[in-house]
Amino acid sequence: MKWYQLDVEKVEQKLHVLSSKGLNKKQVEERRKQYGENELKSQKHTPRWLIFLKQFQDFMVIVLLAATLIAGLLGEYVDAIAIMIIVLVNGLIGYFQEQKAEKSLEKLKELSAPMANVLREGKWEKIPSREVVVGDIVRMNSGDRVPADVRITKSNSMETEESALTGESLPVVKHATAIRKDHLDAQDQTNMGFMGTLVTRGSGIGVVVGTGMNTVMGQIASLMANTKKTPTPLERRLAELGKILIVVALLLTALVVVLGVLEGKPTYDMFLAGVSLAVAAIPEGLPAIVTVALSLGVQRMIRKKAIVRKLSAVETLGTASVICSDKTGTMTENQMTVKELFLNGKHIYVSGDGYDIHGDFFLNNKKVETDYPNLRKMLLYGTLCNNSSLMVKKGKYFIDGDPTDGALLVAARKIGLKPIDEEKFKIIKEIPFDSDRKRMSVIVEDENGKRLLITKGAPDVLLPRTSFQLKDKNREVLKKEDKVKIEMAIKDMANNALRTIAIGIRPLTTKDTLDDAFLEKELTFIGLYGMIDPPRKEVKAAIEECRQAGIKTVMITGDHVNTASAIARNLNLLPENGLVLEGHQLNQMSVEELEDIIDDTYVFARVTPEHKLKIVKAFQEKGHIVAMTGDGVNDAPAIKASDIGISMGINGTDVTKEASSLVLMDDNFATIKSAIKEGRNIYENIRKFIRYLLASNVGEILVMLFAMLLALPLPLVPVQILWVNLVTDGLPAMALGLDKAEENAMKQPPRNPKEGVFSRGLGFKIISRGILIGLVTLIAFMVTYQNTPENLVYAQTVAFTTLVMAQLIHVFDCRAENSIFDRNPFGNIYLVVAVLSSILLLLVVIYWEPLQPIFHTTSLPLKDWLLIGALSAIPTVLFAFKRSNKE
């Protein structure tokens, strides 16, 4: 017998589980041992030693190793060993960098891993899908991925999309009854849910019958493509740039070597110098450092509760010019409290805050008794047409499920209505809420077998479906003037920033069809709920900060126009003459027409997820880089189309998370702002170390080139060049990647996404500082060499020290876009430490006798440091003053 052929009770028996209880801890543990983790095992891990070896397959490293070999063969053992050690250390650094990047990506994967709702020991809990075991009772809502293969035990209009398995993209309606047929294919097993398929509508509960590789998906897992890391635009651009730089560096190096040989210098010396120079000057590690900087940035974002799913998003974030954000839950707390009822044509006010169950009802400032006509009815129906539960933990009440529904439970509790009262009714059918329908219905049967449809939803959606109203004890036809009165009440509540929900009923007989199409009409209006959802405290400031950073914030909501506008005004999001557009207006507009007014529009109300796509397109046509948030299944297309798709970590569905490039762990708008700020910062930091590295390289090449042109001896020996490449160019560059943003970072318009790496004067800065670094090093060399021509090692040591110091001073200049004095030069503690340790290593190489023969150095007398200090400060100081004069 197959699972789909068995009745639910049979399935549960076989798996030793009750759908009301779930598994217990012991069972879970046993089964995890028996079946392993619920994972598809398709990816292979690269072993560590291979990662280490990979560091040496680099072309330049191979050249270096060849040079070592030649040096060894020629009997230059000191050179050979020194180069060997440097190559090894270089490899180790590369290895650790890669490890770090890998680890942070792994952590990311873990953070964005899919979760599952399971029932264990009678309690619903959210666990990583990986920990689901056979026999678990799981609940799936629209937008979720089915966590394992399950036999459906309950379906609320649940539909799944199984194209990943069957190729069929039409949704399949799921039910719980056994199918007594043999040899059914997966697509015909309509009472089964399959791992990895998507719930597109409704919700359902199922018992897990297969996990991991023992699922239908597991059987075809080998067919699934492994996701490969694609380079980000910046990495790609740098890789291309790198190719050009390699050619330039090689040409210059060749020039140095040829000049040297022509001047009669020993060929071996020139060869080794050429190789080291090429190794030092070619920024072959640039893309790798960029990756490290990006993944370090990603880690910082995690600490700020933003999970980046695609590395490229880090770059795009810095260019965002519009944020389209959901209102409910992202800008607001999503903690609803019913504050007002409209019942029997009167406004009734409700006291009490949050989910606290204490509160009273007031009419004209007088307390209303619980037997007030229809009050009990309205509140009871609100708890029946409901998908959440009110829970208590350590004396504090909270909601499990939709907060809008939760608010209705709390309101009912204020007159003492409890779940027990609901148990007198049996729910026969549920048509779930979604943002397109903007309403939810249930059919209930009371103790006497009488059936009732209860519908609640957006008032402007419900009213057209309403023909009657409840007045005192009677049902009467809803007249035009009654409708006007209700509409006024809706506007009135919405103007006070209240979220409005209407509730209505329709008596049914057992003969009536339960077909969706016939149900939600000819309703009898009962009343309106008005609930507040306070804005999150930090949102107002975040919107303001974005505005100063040239980023426009737009509110998108399914809520009523007036509610949305009122909250938008509170948040200072909607200016005096800003436009508010409604979904029905969007319907009548083409994308072009929308483009014309979109820059003046700040709020989109009563929209459905489809409208979001149109909004994204219109903004993009206008040249904007759009960040768009979403949580439901239907938001996925718009999220995909936007430049930065953002999903919700808490209330988001799996589909939107998969479509998004950024997940907000706290669902908070302010987190988007933090992520953008971080995104800008990371890009600036990358610019900083490109600036530093390339200027250093230019300096290194030029000092050698100048010396050859002037027919001087080599100012630097090969190991010194390699040392500079490793130490001076290594540590400080990484520290620049950890720099904090400049103070004015969020006071400037977003970066133009088309701008090149060298824009905003970066190219000039690199070349001018590079030339200066080369020049001062050469001068230091020449001055010393002229005084003591017999002691070349001494002059070389001075040149080496000047080069290193000039770079180490210049690195502080790289922290600021304008002048080094714009900010405390020593504000980056990592950089200070990196520079100090570089200086320490420099002193060791110069003054520690055992190392002197290896690095061709000699101890410098104190007086030389004056010369070195003065010269090495020039490249930085010269421009610092020049600029401050100008300003």
Catalytic residues: 326
When asked if residue 586 is in the footprint of ligand ADP (CB under 6 A), the reply is: no
Closest CA to 272 of 702, 720, 712: 720
Q: How far apart are CA 729 and CA 808, in angstroms?
A: 9
Distance of closest approach, residue 409 Cβ to ligand ADP, in angstroms: 12
3-state SS, 640-662, equals: HHCCEEEEECCCCCHHHHHHCCE
Distance of closest approach, residue 328 Cβ to Mg ion, in angstroms: 5
List the single partner that 253 binds among ligand ADP, Mg ion, none, CB under 5 to 8 Å by kind.
none
- Closer residue to ligand ADP in complex, CB, 328/685: 328
Q: How far apart are CA 557 and CA 462, in angstroms?
A: 18
- Closer residue to Mg ion in complex, CB, 615/804: 615
- Closer residue to ligand ADP in complex, CB, 439/657: 439
List the single partner that 216 binds among ligand ADP, Mg ion, none, CB under 5 to 8 Å by kind.
none
When asked if residue 457 is in the footprint of ligand ADP (CB under 6 A), the reply is: yes
Mark 472-501 with x for binding to ligand ADP (rule: CB under 6 A) and - for no binding.
Answer: ---------------------------xxx
Count how many residues are written for the chain: 887
When asked if residue 667 is in the footprint of ligand ADP (CB under 6 A), the reply is: no
- Closer residue to ligand ADP in complex, CB, 98/402: 402
Token pair of 61 as six digits: 């490293």
When asked if residue 145 is in the footprint of ligand ADP (CB under 6 A), the reply is: no
When asked if residue 536 is in the footprint of ligand ADP (CB under 6 A), the reply is: no
- Closer residue to ligand ADP in complex, CB, 632/715: 632
Token pair of 516 as six digits: 């969706």
Residue with tokens 């709390």: 410
- Closer residue to Mg ion in complex, CB, 269/405: 405
List the single partner that 723 binds among Mg ion, ligand ADP, none, CB under 5 to 8 Å by kind.
none
When asked if residue 559 is in the footprint of ligand ADP (CB under 6 A), the reply is: yes
Torsions phi, psi for 138 (to 5 deg): -120, 145
List the single partner that 499 binds among Mg ion, ligand ADP, none, CB under 5 to 8 Å by kind.
ligand ADP
- Closer residue to ligand ADP in complex, CB, 409/659: 409
Q: How far apart are CA 144 and CA 231, in angstroms?
A: 29
When asked if residue 201 is in the footprint of ligand ADP (CB under 6 A), the reply is: no
Query: Which residues fall within 8 angstroms of residue 355, CB to CB, at 6 or more apart?
Result: 335, 337, 390, 397, 398, 399, 406, 410
How many residues interact with ligand ADP (rule CB under 6 A)? 21
Distance of closest approach, residue 651 Cβ to Mg ion, in angstroms: 8
**Among 136, 402, 430, 742, interactor with ligand ADP by CB under 6 A:** 402
Q: How many CA atoms lie within 13 A of 662 on its CB side?
A: 37
Distance of closest approach, residue 633 Cβ to ligand ADP, in angstroms: 12
Q: How far apart are CA 690 and CA 677, in angstroms?
A: 20
List beta partners, residue 159.
Answer: 173, 201
When asked if residue 404 is in the footprint of ligand ADP (CB under 6 A), the reply is: yes
Between 286-303 and 233-262, two packed helices, what is the crossing angle to 10 degrees? 150
3-state SS, 126-195, equals: EEEHHHCCCCCEEEEECCCECCCEEEEEEEEEEEEECHHHHCCCCCEECCCCCCCCCCCCHHHCCCEECC
Pairing mode, strands 389-393 and 396-400: antiparallel
- Closer residue to ligand ADP in complex, CB, 368/568: 568
When asked if residue 611 is in the footprint of ligand ADP (CB under 6 A), the reply is: no
Using CB under 5 A as the criterion, which residues of the chain lie in contact with Mg ion when the complex forms?
328
- Closer residue to Mg ion in complex, CB, 331/411: 331
Token pair of 406 as six digits: 């939760």
Sign for the CA dihedral angle at 192, 193, 194, 200 comes to positive
When asked if residue 435 is in the footprint of ligand ADP (CB under 6 A), the reply is: yes
List the single partner that 657 binds among Mg ion, ligand ADP, none, CB under 5 to 8 Å by kind.
none
Q: How far apart are CA 129 and CA 107, in angstroms?
A: 16
Distance of closest approach, residue 493 Cβ to ligand ADP, in angstroms: 11
Q: How far apart are CA 330 and CA 46, in angstroms?
A: 40
Q: How far apart are CA 54 and CA 784, in angstroms?
A: 43
List beta partners, residue 102.
Answer: none
Q: How far apart are CA 662 and CA 685, in angstroms?
A: 21
Residue with tokens 């003037």: 481
Distance of closest approach, residue 457 Cβ to Mg ion, in angstroms: 12
Distance of closest approach, residue 330 Cβ to Mg ion, in angstroms: 10
**Among 135, 406, 558, 649, interactor with ligand ADP by CB under 6 A:** 558
Distance of closest approach, residue 632 Cβ to Mg ion, in angstroms: 7
Query: Which residues fall within 8 angstroms of residue 787, CB to CB, at 6 or more apart?
Result: none
Rg of the chain over CA atoms, in angstroms?
35
Judged by CB under 6 A, the stretch of 21-29, 163-171, 435-443, 644-652 that binds ligand ADP is: 435-443
Distance of closest approach, residue 173 Cβ to ligand ADP, in angstroms: 22
When asked if residue 328 is in the footprint of ligand ADP (CB under 6 A), the reply is: yes
When asked if residue 269 is in the footprint of ligand ADP (CB under 6 A), the reply is: no
Residue nearest to ligand ADP (CB): 558
Residues that bind ligand ADP (CB under 6 A): 326-328, 402, 404-405, 433, 435, 438-440, 456-458, 499-501, 557-560
